[in-house]
Amino acid sequence: MSYPTPATSVKLVLLGEAAVGKSSLVLRFVSNDFQENKEPTIGAAFLTQKCTIGERTIKYEIWDTAGQERFASLAPMYYRNAQAAIVVYDITKPASFIKARHWVKELHEQAAKDITIALVGNKYDLVQDDDEGQGEREGVRKVSVEEGQNLAAEEGLLFYETSAKTSYNVNDVFIGIGNKIPEAASLASSPEQNNNEGRIDLSTNASSNGNRNLCSC
């Protein structure tokens, strides 16, 4: 309500299989920090971070969701009104890429039509060669850059390979999303009208059931 610079709020949700590094990406972006064995997220975590891109200041309101399949019934609540989504997979785990495909499909079917989605292959540090930082360690990578690029091209997504551990490309993801979100769109959905401050607005959604419907199922 009282930010010095008029920041536009962007609601963003992270989705992806368990242990691909969703929370670590957020921790790197928000606190520029990394923890080797980050706790599994239970339920969901909420964080915010401001980010200046050119003339604009964007305030990311980030929902970091639990990755385990079991928690999927909680996810729609977080992505339903999101303007942006980051779908994360682990480039050393093919199954996580399949899961990412599913999330992209679900987002296209269920989320807002103009949602900006970034596909992110995380844990780049694991395939990176120690010596030069150039070239790749052999055999560790299980999802090729092309596979990621192709999926992104097919579905109209931004695409990055990142490392939350080395911070490689992490900020670029958020800058890329910020650039792709039209100013008007983020303005239109920003605060004022109601007290929600443009956050994940569940009350309007729930009104049909007198505010007491279940989140998603």
Partner 1 sequence: MSGIPKEFRGIIWQLVSKSKNFQLEEFYLHLKSESSIHEKAIKRDLSRTSFFTNVEQVNKAQELFNVIKSYSLFDPDVGYTQGMIFIAIPLIMNMSEAECFSLLVTLMKEYRLRDLFCPEMKGLHLMLYEFDRLLESYSPVLYNHLVKQGIKSSMYASQWFLTFFAYKFPLDIVLRIYDIIVTQGMESILKFAVNLMLKNEASLLSLSFDNLLEFLKDKLFNIYVHEEFINFKDDSTKRSSGSRFSLLPSSKSSNSTTTTGSAIKGQYYKLDSLVQDSMKINLDPVELTKYENEFENIYNNEKSKVDDIKQIKLENGNLRHKIKELETNYAKLNMDHIEIVQEMVDLKVTLPDVINDNEDLTNSIEQLKCDIQALESKMSESPSTSTSDINSKALPVEIENNIQELLKVNAEETERAVNLEEELSTLLEEQNTLEQELKKYSKSGGWFSWGKKA
Interaction between residue 201 and partner 1 (CB under 8 A): yes
Binding residue for partner 1, selected from 18, 51, 126, 185, defined by CB under 8 A: 18
Choice between 40 and 182, CB closer to partner 1: 40
Min separation Cβ 73 and partner 1, Å: 6
Interaction between residue 126 and partner 1 (CB under 8 A): no
Interaction between residue 51 and partner 1 (CB under 8 A): no
| Angle, CA 16 vertex, CA 53 and CA 75 arms, to 5° | 90
Separation between Cα atoms, residue 9 and residue 58, nearest integer Å: 6
Choice between 102 and 199, CB closer to partner 1: 199
Interaction between residue 193 and partner 1 (CB under 8 A): no
CB 161 within 8 A of CB 124: yes
Residues that bind partner 1 (CB under 8 A): 1, 18-19, 37-40, 42-46, 48, 61, 66, 68, 70-71, 73-74, 77, 195-197, 199-203, 209, 211-215, 217
